[in-house]
């Protein structure tokens, strides 16, 4: 497998990037999320890559982050979800939003992705609920002040909760959750930790 390609970005569009390395221009399929962070054409750049080989096609898919690549690989292992739908997911939802949708069973969020209907969304939730943990290390940092997060974490540690479980739960909080006053946020995290323990 090609782990990454590093070279000169010679072309970019919302669906495609071309990176030249060693005199070869590699055509790489990308999600919109990757396109949005690409530098100007003729800049040096590297993309995490995934080589897809099917009966009648060979393609390289590229991603700005390791998290995007991991999610792409997880999605393409689901029956009925091919590379095209996986790229559509990454173009519509952030990795963090996708993880939260699966963990909380939010079908409506998943059906916003072109090509995913209610049945596909339900299948994703069922098949990925126990496997999505592999993405937890990549979930984006929540938007909250460091001091408030430290206060929440210290309070929960004092109550005997596990550090890793606390941090994982905080990463799953929505922006709306994180806007709660610190005391309410502590209560919300405790509630969710007990629910997960059932």
Give the pLDDT confidence of 92-133 residue by residue, as tens digits.
888 878 888 888 888 888 998 998 989 889 888 988 877 777
Q: What local confidence, expressed as pLDDT, does residue 198 receive?
A: 65
Contacts of 58 (CB under 8 A, 6+ apart): 51, 52
pLDDT over threshold 60, residue 86: yes
Instruction: Identify the band that residue 145 occupies on the pLDDT scale cut at 50, 70 and 90.
Output: very low
Q: What local confidence, expressed as pLDDT, does residue 142 receive?
A: 36
Instruction: Identify the band that residue 148 occupies on the pLDDT scale cut at 50, 70 and 90.
Output: low
| Cα–Cα distance for residue pair 49/64, rounded to 1 Å | 9
Question: Between residues 46 and 153, which one has the greater pLDDT?
Answer: 46
pTM over 0.85: no
Asked whether this chain's domains 4-63 and 66-138 adopt the same fold, the reply is no
Query: Which tokens is 194 given?
Result: 């007990």
Domain ranges of the chain: 4-63, 66-138, 146-197
Contacts of 33 (CB under 8 A, 6+ apart): 64, 68, 90, 91, 94
4-63 carries CATH number 2.60.40.10 = no
| Cα–Cα distance for residue pair 160/143, rounded to 1 Å | 25
- The CATH architecture assigned to 66-138 reads Orthogonal Bundle (1.10)
């Amino acid at each position: 497998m090609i782990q990454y390609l590093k070279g000169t970005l010679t072309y970019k569009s919302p669906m495609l990037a071309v990176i030249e390395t060693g005199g070869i221009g590699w055509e790489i399929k990308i999600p919109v999320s990757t396109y949005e962070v690409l530098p100007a054409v003729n800049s040096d750049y590297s993309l995490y890559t995934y080589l897809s080989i099917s009966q009648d096609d060979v393609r390289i898919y590229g991603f700005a982050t390791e998290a995007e690549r991991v999610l792409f690989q997880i999605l393409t292992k689901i029956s009925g979800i091919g590379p095209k739908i996986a790229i559509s997911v990454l173009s519509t939802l952030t990795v963090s939003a996708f993880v939260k949708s699966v963990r909380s069973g939010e079908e409506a969020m998943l059906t916003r992705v072109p090509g995913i209907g209610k049945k596909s969304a339900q299948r994703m939730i069922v098949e990925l609920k126990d496997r999505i943990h592999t993405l937890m290390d990549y979930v984006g940092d929540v938007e909250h002040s460091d001091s408030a997060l430290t206060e929440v974490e210290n309070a929960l540690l004092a109550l005997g909760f596990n550090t890793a479980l606390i941090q994982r739960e905080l990463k799953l909080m929505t922006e709306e959750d994180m806007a709660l006053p610190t005391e309410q946020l502590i209560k919300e995290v405790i509630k969710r930790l007990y629910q997960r323990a059932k």
